[in-house]
Structure 1
Amino acid sequence: MMYTVSDESLWHGRIDDKENRDHFRNFQAVDVIDAAGDLTERYDVGILGYAVDRGVHLNQGRVGAKRGPDAVRTKFGNLPLMKDISIADFGNVSTDEPYVEAVQKEYAELISKTNDYAKFHLLIGGGHDIAYAHFKGLKALYPDQTIGVINIDAHFDLRDAQYATSGTGFKQILDEDADAGYLVLGLQEAGNTQYLFNVAEQYDVKYVLAEDINYDTTYEIIQSFIEQYDVIMLTLCLDVLDSAFAPGVSAPCSFGLTPQQVERLIREVLSYGKTRHLSIAEMNPEYDIDGRTAKLVGHISFHAVHRNPNIL
């Protein structure tokens, strides 16, 4: 495992004014923080990168997502600062080890450590093995509260494996915590074997297929699910998006959701005020086109920050 402070040169962009914050973009409001040291100052938004794609490799996916967090920083940084908010970049974790369990543990510990120093956290991957690390961080923070997991994803990620991969995280969560619940939004029938549907039924997993996402029934399902839990873990796998919008992912999707659908789902979940961390997985610059996917993640992050009840 390895923790690194972010490269400040990633935070750059157009400068319209150096003094008047009405002209600022996000990069002009970012402090790069060494999260390995003592933390003192509190921020509105904290960014923590999971620069790991070993779990994708172990899941037989195409690698490259370890460069995702830095690619997203550059795109998010050049978007407008729409509120008078403060942003902390808490750096990245990465690994050269053959398996991901140790780096997941380190990332979970950093989530817990940085929690009190930002009102809302963007957890940027990297492979979707970030989800298990995300959950472990929340369990450390809320050991006596129930956690409902909402995953906006084309896949269940309920695989069995002798070691953790980007496809095992949610089964690990359900196996470890009998009180946890799991809801998948945007699921693709063609992206999951019958065995995975059987596992989902066994674990009472709730899901909405991509073709059934709408602004009425889906929101009722979200509300009903959220009301059952004290804390909501929200995670987004970018392969839920149609590949026309998000080509730079580990497993591109041909019949995916639109960016507007995904943004509305995130906004709806955040509106309940039970979510302080959003993890975004599988941004893969190796297969991106003209930075399209990284910019899309920047915009998703922008809306998650600027329409967030935890920050208002």
Structure 2
Amino acid sequence: MIRNYVLESPETWQGRIDDTEDYDSFRWHQWIKLIDLNDNSLKAFDGTFAFCLIGFECDFGIGLNKGRVGAAKGPVSIRKELANLPCQFNEEIKIFDAGNIITDGLSLDEAQDCLGEAVNRILDLNMFPIVLGGGHETAFGHFKGLFKHFLKDDESIGIINFDAHFDTRPYEKFGGTSGTMFRQIRDLVQENGFDYNYMCIGIQKHSNTKSLFNFAKENEVKYILAKDIVNRDIPSLFDEIDEFIQSVDYIYITICSDVFSTAFAPGVSAPQALGMDPEKAIVLLKHILSHENVVSFDIAEVSPRFDKDNTTATLAAVLIFSLVTKISTLIEKRKNKKKIKRSRSY
């Protein structure tokens, strides 16, 4: 049984209704289905494709990192913006909401363990996890679930992180925070005899110490500076990204909302005056998703406490929408190719 796990209220998924029968008029709140991960009668999904949302109502890591707390309320804020999005995908694509991990009575490590169990359960049910943070400490819990699930296959997991920060600070003295996750992941995989595969997109020089850049060099961390995304054509970055993706078996995508300029994402723990343009991030995201080995996604550090007109939550919802529609389009294209091949074989 997953501890500190609560179901999402049906009242969260409400919104405009244009039609009650015409699927082409549906919005997400009309299509999403709530599930209980602790229900042992659940069977693995055997349809075309399923996404499953899980919230992580935690910002302990941000507090420990001396940041602006508030991201624990991120999941509900993001869900509200997702509710009215149109169903721009085939009816064969299903979306489930598995509820939330809460932190009552838990330490950060314990909360991350609970999230890991939830992610592992979603994968066991043959669904694609979409984790709604929470602080970016979400990433360590999320990765724990991926590692547990794929460890039995003895295959490699690559992380692509859209972030202004490496988040690889030392944690041995003071414990984990929202700035240590990717060093903790390094230690976890290496202790178990696996390679460390980490790429960060959107790094800001003014937001990372020289020591963190040294760590990146010593551990062969791949990164793309935010200024290079501004100064170069986006397609010119594809080769770097492709080389990384092709070097691993699976890809986990994580986005810290502070990678974006405050003009687009004011509701974050560490605002970025010179952050990324979301339009460029979406182009990169869709390119990454064009590879078939992407297995999970999360978005972190949406903090309603500091948001303006739900701008940051809306951006998070659009990024999730882009992910769902891109994967759905690719699935449809692959199905059509198979039909063409069958027709030519007769």
TM-score (norm 2): 0.87
The Cα of 1:233 is off from its aligned counterpart by 1.3
Alignment of 1:113-124 (within 5 A): 113-124=121-132
Q: Which runs of 5+ in 2 are unaligned?
A: 333-346
Q: Distance in 1 between matches of 2:126 and 2:82?
A: 17
Query: 1:40 corresponds to which residue?
Result: 43
Residue identity (%):
39
Cα displacement (A) at 1:176: 2.0
Question: Which residue in the other structure is 1:10 paired with?
Answer: 12
> Is the Cα–Cα contact under 8 Å of residues 45 and 121 in structure 1 kept in the other structure?
yes
Shift of 1:134: 1.5
In the alignment, which of 110, 133, 136 is matched to residue 128 of structure 1?
136
8 Å contact from structure 2 (residues 122, 128) kept in 1: no
Pairing of 1:150-229 with structure 2 (within 5 A): 150-161=160-171, 162-178=174-190, 179-213=195-229, 214-229=233-248
Deviation of 1:180 after TM superposition, in Å, equals: 2.1
Corresponding residue SS for 2:327: coil
Out of 12, 31, 47, which is 2:33 matched to?
A: 31
Greater helix share, 1 or 2? 2
Pairing partner for 1:103 from 111, 118, 134: 111
User: In angstroms, what is the RMSD of aligned CA positions?
Assistant: 1.5
Q: Distance in 2 between matches of 1:61 and 1:18?
A: 44
Q: Is the 8 A contact 1:249 1:287 kept in 2?
A: yes
Note if contact 1:120-1:311 (Cα within 8 Å) is conserved in structure 2.
no
1:96 Cα deviation from its structure 2 partner: 3.0
| Contact 1:44–1:87 (8 Å) recurs in 2 | yes
Contact preservation (8 Å) 2:203, 2:224? yes
Deviation at 1:98, TM superposition (A): 6.5
Q: Give a deviation string over 1:44-97, Cα, whole Å, max 9, x none.
A: 211011110011101111001001011111101110001123211001001134
Q: CA deviation at 1:189?
A: 0.5
Distance 1:265 1:97 in 2: 39
Task: Please state if 1:50 is matched with 2:53.
Answer: no
Cα distance in 2 between the residues matched to 1:218 and 1:100: 36
What per-residue deviation string (whole Å, max 9, x for no partner) do you get for residues 144-182 of structure 1? Answer: 101111111000000112311111100011122231211
In structure 2, do the counterparts of structure 1 residues 164 and 186 end up closer, same or farther at CA, with 3 Å as the change threshold?
same
- Which position in structure 2 is the counterpart of 1:147? 157
**Contact 2:268–2:302, Cα closer than 8 Å, also in 1:** yes
- Structure 1: where are the runs of 5+ without partners? none
Distance 2:63 2:74 in 1: 15
How far apart in 2 are the matches of 1:41 and 1:14? 31
State how far apart, in whole Å, the 1-side matches of 2:126 and 2:159 are. Answer: 21
Report the Cα distance in structure 2 between the residues aligned to 1:99 and 1:171, rounded to whole angstroms: 19
Match of 2:337 in 1: none
> One-letter code of the match for 2:71?
A
CA contact (8 A) 1:46 1:117 kept: no
For the pair shown, the structure with the greater C-alpha radius of gyration is: 2
Q: Does the Cα contact within 8 Å between 1:47 and 1:90 map onto a contact in 2?
A: yes
TM-score normalised over the length of structure 1? 0.96
For residues 175-232 of structure 1, the C-alpha deviation after alignment (integer angstroms, 9 at most, x for no partner) is: 2223121110010011111121122122111110001124233211100101110111
The number of residues matched between the two structures is: 312
- Judge conservation of contact 1:305–1:311 (CA < 8 Å) in 2: no
Aligned-partner Cα distance in 2 for 1:296–1:173? 27
3-state SS, counterpart of residue 134 of structure 1:
helix
Cα distance in 1 for residues equivalent to 2:164 and 2:178: 13
Q: Distance in 1 between matches of 2:236 and 2:24?
A: 39
Kindly tell me: are residues 64 and 28 of structure 1, through their superposed partners in 2, closer, same or farther at Cα, counting changes over 3 Å? same
CA distance in 2 between counterparts of 1:257 and 1:106 reads 32
Shift of 1:293: 0.8
What secondary structure, in the 3-state scheme, does the structure 2 residue paired with 1:196 have? helix
Distance 2:183 2:307 in 1: 29
